[in-house]
Homo-oligomer: A and B are copies of this chain.
Amino acid sequence: MRPVAIVGIGRTKFGAFPDRDLRSLGIEASQKCLEDAGVKPEQVEAFYLGNFAGPSFVGQNHLAPYIAGGVGITGVPTTRFEAACASGGSSFFHAFSGVAAGLYDVVLVTGVEKMTSQPTPKVAEILAGAGDVSGEGKAGATFAALFAMIARRHMHQYGTTHEQMAMVAVKNHSNAAKNPYAHMRKVITLEQALAGKLIAEPLTIYDCSLISDGAASVLLVPLERASEFAGKPVRVAGIAQTSDFFSLDQREDITSFAAVTNAAEKAYKAAGVTAKDIQFAELHDCFTIAEIMATEDLGFVKKGEGGPYVQQGCTLLGGPRPVNPSGGLKAKGHPVGATGVAQICEVTEQIRGAAGERQVRNHDIGLAQNIGGSGATAVVTVLCAV
């Protein structure tokens, strides 16, 4: 295994773009990334596409060569990776593995989703496909309902409050307001978040991430070749993808995702770090409770202390360990297949010290955590300055 660096990133703005199709979003992010790295399409040796449900959202499948061809990449492996909301993270994990193992030198990873062309009930139905349709789904449990159950249990077990969850939303909206790529650049108050329309008790609309269109790309190369490329390199210090039993009823404890703790342990070990070394993180806040759980599962705090951690301001942009400086899935947006790759873009940009208004203070080592479904898939990545 050889060291691997990110030498290019590219993103579209996230949002609702009725005039843009999935392909054009994927091509835009890919091209911006190649430009950042100073790489021509014909130099790309493999193309990894993260996409959750293009066929269901827009009726187009076989998306990897469809987008790659539009970028001018042919004659190489082009493959779509699907792992629900961790599709982006999974495509990045496999691409990293390919470069680390010496299979390829120049690999482009793009994540993309185009969700807003479908009405919201249809979007919810498509998203439900990431969970156990014949079990949880048949019982009427949407993802909001599943995470509401998780939230209720977390509240019961650890005294976590809905106010603490709402604080995640307030923080992430505040961060997104500073992010030109974010879907929703609107600051909200705690009162607003608490008084939001109820989606699945105790979760209000402000506890839920957004339905978005968007794409993100990164370019991976061996660290030893990083100086040949235009983009300031950031090292992939450690990464792991793991899995768990599929539905919540198969888990011993629904207030923790075993796949996340497992992936974190492996990623930390590969990077030679512990949780306390992580200076900032992009976490998978599909629902606000998920960010709280992630800070626990990743070992930032002990189990049950995620609520007080956000309440004490520890995860604020100016706090001791900023979480979701991008605005997270909550406010930056959550175009599913793009999310895991966009997290890597954000951590890279932060480590480069190029995040502008939303730049975190200590930015030598950051983490991205991406989950699929209700935690059946998890990808954890540690990035660090070169």
Does A286 reach chain B (CB closer than 8 Å)? no
Q: Which one of B80, B241, B242, B244 lies within 8 Å of A69 (CB-CB)?
A: B244
Copies of this chain present in the complex amount to: 2
Shortest CB-to-CB span from A124 to chain B, Å, is: 13
Q: Which residues of A (72-87) have their CB < 8 Å from a CB of B?
A: 73-84
Instruction: State which of B53, B75, B83 has its C-beta within 8 Å of the C-beta of A243.
Output: B75
Inter-chain contact B129/A62, CB cutoff 8 Å: yes
As a 0/1 sequence over residues 239 to 271 of chain A, the CB contacts with chain B under 8 angstroms (1 = contact) are 011111110001000000011001000000000
Does A238 touch B at the CB level, under 8 Å?
no
One of A90-98, A189-197, A314-322 contacting the partner: A90-98
Q: How far is the CB of A362 from chain B (nearest CB, A)?
A: 31
CB of A55 within 8 A of CB of B126, answer yes
A residues touching B (Cβ–Cβ < 8 Å)? 1, 21, 47, 52-53, 55-56, 59-66, 68-70, 73-84, 90, 93-94, 97-98, 101-103, 126, 129-134, 240-246, 250, 258-259, 262, 372-373, 376-377
- List 30 A-B residue pairs with CB atoms under 8 Å apart, sorted by A's residue number: A1-B102, A21-B134, A59-B129, A60-B133, A60-B134, A61-B126, A62-B83, A62-B129, A62-B130, A62-B373, A62-B376, A64-B377, A65-B83, A65-B243, A65-B373, A65-B376, A65-B377, A69-B244, A74-B243, A75-B242, A75-B262, A76-B242, A76-B243, A77-B93, A79-B241, A81-B81, A97-B98, A97-B101, A97-B103, A101-B103
